[in-house]
Amino acid sequence: MNIIATKTKDEMASVAAGIFATQIAEKPDSVLGLATGETPREMYGELIKLYEAGAISFKDIVSFNLDEYIGLAPEHDQSYRYYMNDALFNHIDIDKAHTHVPDGMADDLEAEGRAYDDQIRDAGGIDMQLLGIGVNGHIAFNEPGTDFASGTHPVDLTPSTIAVNSQYFATPQEMPTTALTMGLASIMGAKKIVLIASGPSKAEILDEALFGPVTPEVPASILQQHPDVTVIADEEALRVIHEKDRL
Ligand code: F6R
């Protein structure tokens, strides 16, 4: 595992954008796994700047997002489809027909999950997967206790995740308590993984995930078993790791 320490979140964003830009330049038809949340916003901003500068094109890129809330229509401003359009897709030359977000409105969510993994496989697998990390160690919405062998599946969100994410909804009660998420096996199938982390709330869990025991109780710990993981984290997120002299 390669850990890149940055001073600030802005620096984390530009280093991560650089890694994705290199991937796109080397393989213009890359299949990218994308994440939502607060952590990647600036990184997407950097990718938009690189696109506007003519350094990269997304015209042949295919993307798969990690997750979506169950019951939120794509037009809902807290849906992850809306987030992706707003944060990235509306500003670049990607063909939206080549962008995938799990369908949280599907009637048969289990079947939708299986079909999503089939689509990833049919696209040739994910070349580079972006991840954030939840304060409880989740990656995508794979909450503590998730089977390492899981494919894309519906989940009940934990009180911790609901507490953190409900702040983005007009009223906390509006936040769905279930989601459709790529599974841990779906994520581990990516050829390369880039995990970004920023801020003090991630310091404890980042240390546990990267240096603690590999256990379903800390879903992100499974990344220790992946052959090509790059972690980019700012000073605040690396506080515990630095205190314990792990780097
Ligand atoms: C987002 C996702 C989540 C987030 C995690 C961190 O698609 O799957 O695992 O990456 O909850 O979220 P932020 O970046 O908001 O701290």
Domains of the chain: 2-243 (3.40.50.1360)
pLDDT in tens, 83-106: 999 999 999 999 999 999 999 999
Nearest one of 97, 49, 103 to 81, comparing CA atoms: 103
CB 176 within 8 A of CB 168: no
Please work out whether the CB of residue 155 comes within 6 Å of at least one atom of ligand 1. Answer: no
136 is catalytic: yes
Tokens linked to 98 = 């080549």
What are φ and ψ of residue 229, in 5° steps? -115, 130
CB 175 within 8 A of CB 169: yes
Q: Which residues of the chain have pLDDT under 50?
A: none
- Alpha carbon 205 to chain centroid, angstroms: 16
Measured CA to CA, the distance from residue 68 to residue 240 in angstroms comes to: 31
Residue 118 confidence (pLDDT): 98
HSE-up (13 A, CA, CB side) for residue 91: 15
CA distances (Å), origin 227, targets 11, 16, 84, 153: 25, 18, 28, 24
Residue 33 confidence (pLDDT): 99
Residue 69 confidence (pLDDT): 98
Residue 137 confidence (pLDDT): 98
Residue 61 confidence (pLDDT): 99
Please give the number of the atom of ligand 1 that sits closest to the Cα of 37. 15
Whether the predicted model's global pTM rises above the 0.95 cut: yes
Cα(134) to ligand 1 centroid in Å equals 6
